[in-house]
Every structure is written in C-alpha cells, then in structure tokens.
Amino acid sequence: MKTIFIAGHKGMVGSHIHALLKKTKNKLITADKKKLNLLDQSKVFKFLKKQKPDQIYICAAKVGGIHANNIYSAKFLYENLIIASNLIHGAMINNIKKILYLGSSCIYPKKSKTPIKEEALLSGYLENTNEGYAIAKICGIALCKHYNKQYKNKKVDYRAVMPCNLYGEGDNFDPNLGHVIPSIIYKLHKAKIQKKNKVYLWGDGKPKREFLHVEDLAKACVHLMNIKKSEFYKKKSYEHYNIGSGKEITIKNLSNIIAKVIDYKGKILFDKKKLNGTMRKVMDISKIKSTGWNSMISLNEGIQRTYSYFLIHHEKKLYKS
C-alpha cells in the first residue's frame, strides 16, 4: 500500500484522479485551500514533512480559457510557477521519491509542426494569449527534468505529462473564464432557454483543437505513474509525455456538435474581432500509446456527459437571474 497526496483534488482533473485511486488499496491524502495554501512555501514544506507521502500527483493549478489567460497573464504565471516550485522542491527536501506533474499542451511553440512531438518543446515562440501560463508549466517540466538529473543519488523519479484541451464533469462553465467546450455549452444553452435565434462565439471558427475527456486523462495519469521507471524513460528524450485523443476538430464543427447535443436550433455566428489563439494544436501521442494506453471516450459521448453534468450542477446557479 502506498500513501498518495493529490494536490488539487477538488479540481476537475484532481477529482477524477482521486475517484480512480479510491478504488485501490492505497492511502490517499488531500488538503483543500483552507487547510493548505500551495502558494505558501513554509506551509507546503511542513505539510510534506509531516505527511511524507510516497507519491504526489500535482493537479493543482490556476487555469482558464483564452480570455482569462490573456487578461490575467501575470497571475497565471506567478501562481502556477509557485505551486510547482513549492511542491517539487518540497518533495525533494523531504525525500519523497515520486511525482507526476501535469502541464499543458500550450507549452509548445505557436508554429510547431503538427502533430506536435514532445521534442518540439522550446523550439520556437509561444502563443501570446497564454504565454504566462505556458512559461510556468514549462518551468514545472524543467524542474522535474533537472531534479531527476541533479539528484540521481537520491533516486528521485519526477515525471511530467502534457494533456491536450480537457473537458468533462467538474469543468468551469463561466463563459469568460472557462475553456472552450464548457464556455460554448453555457452560451448555447443560455441562447436556447432565452429563445435567441443566434449566438456569437469567439474568433472565426477555423482554429483546430484536440480534446480529451478528463476521465481518460485520469486513467492515463495513473497508468504513467505506475509503469516501470525503465519504461517511462526508455529513451533520453522521454522526459515528458503528451496525453491526448490524437484527433482534431475545428471550433466551428465542435460548436455544431454541441448545438446538436443541446438541441439549439439557432444560428451560430463568429466574432472575428475576438482572439483565435493558435490555429492548430494536435499532439503526437505515439509515445504514450506505445505503453498500452488509448483514450476510450468519444467526443460526442463526452459532450453528452458534460452537458448532463452542467444541467444537474450549474444550470440553476448560472441562470437564476
């Protein structure tokens, strides 16, 4: 039996990893923001010294969609950098051997050749709209890489994974701060109940994105945490792993799928004055597939599940006015 600390267990990713690990015989440690502020180095170090987990899943992060990343870029950079630094360094000084750090596909350069391989990291300029968040996540990967290198004698094993665009139960449905799928669900559902015959979405609808349901990501994280060290690092370039569906779709086609699930009959128009972000961002997932993992939840099924969750947990709260 292992003792496992899940940092960010109430977030979308952390809650799904927590639910998955609850089915095992391991002892799980959690701490909400009231008990442990991950931005407070002293408290983080004391917590890790007292709890001394065998493994840490770093799911905690300051996250948001294109608008939030662009407007609050300094906050996204600072908070994500501090969270990663406190947990990774705190683990090392407390002799905690194993970490899985969750990054993001936005770490890759704006003009990366697609599908994007892990080796594309630091090969070009980042997309401006999420540069702050991306730099923080790159630093998290670098910390894992260099702690593995410098502290070989301590036998630390700090692994990093880079998910594509995520969605699913537990997502943030704020139309301004949320990611693309929950934001579109919010806007189209609101247009439906208000009987509006048209709705505007950001950009021109042409950017292509890769999406993965959060349950698939949780299974991938647990899978990669538990494969042998020799398999995870079977090549020197295997310092982090992409996790995705390997499939891409335009925002316009995505919005049509969501409209069908919601049963919204109006027109979907695009505000071309708004930001598009990177035009194409599908990742190469051959490395993780070589370990035996594959995504299982189709985009249509995942959106149906996400919309059902939205209706149960968020509709009344968001539209009570």
Which residue numbers are catalytic? 133
Cβ-in-10-Å burial (0-12, 13-18, 19+) of 198 comes to: exposed
Q: Cα dihedral sign for 259, 260, 265, 270?
A: positive
d(CA 221, CA 224): 5
164 three-state secondary structure: coil
- Please, what is the angle between helix 214-226 and helix 12-21, to 10°? 60
267, amino acid identity: K
Pairing mode, if any, of strands 98-102 and 55-58?
parallel
d(CA 301, CA 293): 19
Q: Cα dihedral sign for 173, 242, 88, 228?
A: positive
